[in-house]
Amino acid sequence: MSSHREEAVRRIAAPEIAARKGGQPIVCLTAYTAPMAELLDAHCDLLLVGDSVGMVVHGLPNTVGVTLEMMILHGQAVMRGSRRAMVVVDLPFGAYEGAPEAAHANAARVMKETGCSAVKVEAGPAIADNIAYLVQRGIPVMGHVGLRPQAVMVEGRFKAKGKADHERRRILDEARAAAEAGAFAVVVEGVAEGLAREITAAVDVPTIGIGASAGCDGQILVTDDMLGLFDWTPKFVRRYADLRGEIGRAVAAYADDVRERKFPGPAEIYFAKAG
């Protein structure tokens, strides 16, 4: 008889994602809540608890205000809702760019308190040393190059990257440095197809594209974008549903029913027992 432990579904781990380089494309989406993680789990190899949660769920103007506590809370929810997909939690702005010891304390806290399998960091200049420090201490790390949303205050706005030659070279170097430091995969955001293919050829770990063409080893989207929960979506998002429209229609129907005293009806109320 097999034990409960043996019957448990084993989660996809970092080495399995790394081994998919050049193979079957890696399917990734963001998740922030347990019910959504439950819906996505069977279809995805990797669920990212992205710091985009600050904008998508908490109404922040960008990801700079996201805290470690927010990431931990949403990481715990996504772990509860999923069983199979690898769960990666973003380290928020300010949690990993300074002293390696501080980056390690924050990353270890995220892993201990959520049970997630890895963290993601935006791999700008000088982050490679901290990636190596974390990986050497048992923390799998995913890098993120190209458009780096946490750098929005320096950039002034979210804009595609790598148009100028010096920028192309810098992004390529950052991707190489993240991979050489031990990152098991690198997210490539908001770059033209040529650069995405160049990065994919230059690093020996999978690239996960978002707005970076089908030339990457896998793809990720913000789930709420691809489900059509916003009235505006970036150019690189394909909308697979119109949940904003669906929700609007459902709520309007509910409001009409309440106003016309059609809800609740006989099937939706309790009756006292006779006698």
Report angle CA 19, 25, 31 to the nearest 5 degrees: 95
Q: Give least dist CB 54 to ligand KIV, A.
A: 8
Q: Which two tokens stand for residue 99?
A: 């002293």
Please tell me whether residue 85 binds ligand KIV under the rule CB under 6 A.
no
Q: Rounded CA gap, 179 and 60, in Å? A: 31
Q: Nearer Cβ to ligand KIV, position 30 or 117?
A: 30
Binding to ligand KIV, residues 203-222 (CB under 6 A): 210, 220, 222
Binding to ligand KIV, residues 29-48 (CB under 6 A): 30, 48
Please tell me whether residue 198 binds ligand KIV under the rule CB under 6 A.
no
Going from the C-alpha of 113 to that of each of 78, 89, 181, the distances in angstroms are: 12, 11, 25
Please tell me whether residue 128 binds ligand KIV under the rule CB under 6 A.
no
Part of the chain binding ligand KIV (CB under 6 A), chosen from 36-44, 50-58, 80-88, 133-141: 50-58
Q: Rounded CA gap, 89 and 34, in Å? A: 14
Q: Give least dist CB 211 to ligand KIV, A.
A: 9
List residues bridging with 90 in a β-sheet.
120
Q: Rounded CA gap, 233 and 250, in Å? A: 22
Please tell me whether residue 79 binds ligand KIV under the rule CB under 6 A.
no
Please tell me whether residue 50 binds ligand KIV under the rule CB under 6 A.
yes
Phi, then psi, of 248 in degrees rounded to 5: -60, -45
Q: Rounded CA gap, 194 and 199, in Å? A: 9
Active site residue 198: no
Which of 122, 174, 189, 198 is flagged as catalytic? 189
Binding site for ligand KIV (CB under 6 A): 30, 48, 50-52, 90, 144, 187, 189, 210, 220, 222
